């Protein structure tokens, strides 16, 4: 004889166990260091290619931009402030550490006219196309 309520309770216990495992796994990952890569938008128009990277909390001096051949590389590092490290954190969701992003630029670029600006945590790199 089937007992539908017992089957439903067993299914509920199994689902609860799966949920608890996923939450415990997520909590374990939160305390582990995570690699990060800043979000980047790439836009192209008739005159240029423009990259915009979100780099909140970095100083201009912490960012390295390099154009080598057809590859544009953006590197940097975001570190914990020493004052923050003495605090008793309950949760750390922001990513810290070194990052690097490389972009293949297939359009011929005028390397002498490349420019970059950094304002309010957004890096903008302008790559004018060759005429």
Whether the pLDDT of residue 48 is over 90: the answer is: yes
* Predicted local distance difference test score (pLDDT) of residue 21: 59
Whether the pLDDT of residue 115 is over 90: the answer is: yes
Locate tokens 């067993």: which residue? 10
Least-confidence region, from 12-26, 34-48, 51-65, 91-105: 12-26
Strand order of the sheet with strand 71-78? 63-68, 71-78, 97-104
Q: What is the dihedral of CA 113, 114, 119, 121, to 10 degrees?
A: 180
Give the H/E segment covering residue 7: helix 4-31
The model carries a pTM of 0.69
Contacts of 87 (CB under 8 A, 6+ apart): none
Distance CA 54, CA 99 (A): 12
Least-confidence region, from 2-11, 46-55, 57-66: 2-11
Whether the pLDDT of residue 88 is over 80: the answer is: no
Least-confidence region, from 1-15, 21-35, 79-93: 21-35
* Predicted local distance difference test score (pLDDT) of residue 54: 95
């Amino acid at each position: 004889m089937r007992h539908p309520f017992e089957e439903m309770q067993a299914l509920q216990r199994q689902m609860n166990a799966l949920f608890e495992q996923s939450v415990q796994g997520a909590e374990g990952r939160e305390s582990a260091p995570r690699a990060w890569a800043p979000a980047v938008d790439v836009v192209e128009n008739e005159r240029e290619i423009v990259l915009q990277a979100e780099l909140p909390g970095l100083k201009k001096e912490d960012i390295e931009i390099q154009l080598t051949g057809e590859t544009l590389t953006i590197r940097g590092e975001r570190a914990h402030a020493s004052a923050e490290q003495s605090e008793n954190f309950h949760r750390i969701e922001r990513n810290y550490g070194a990052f690097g992003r490389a972009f293949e630029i297939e359009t011929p670029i005028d390397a002498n006219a490349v420019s970059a600006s950094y304002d309010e945590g957004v890096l903008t790199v302008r790559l004018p196309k060759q005429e």
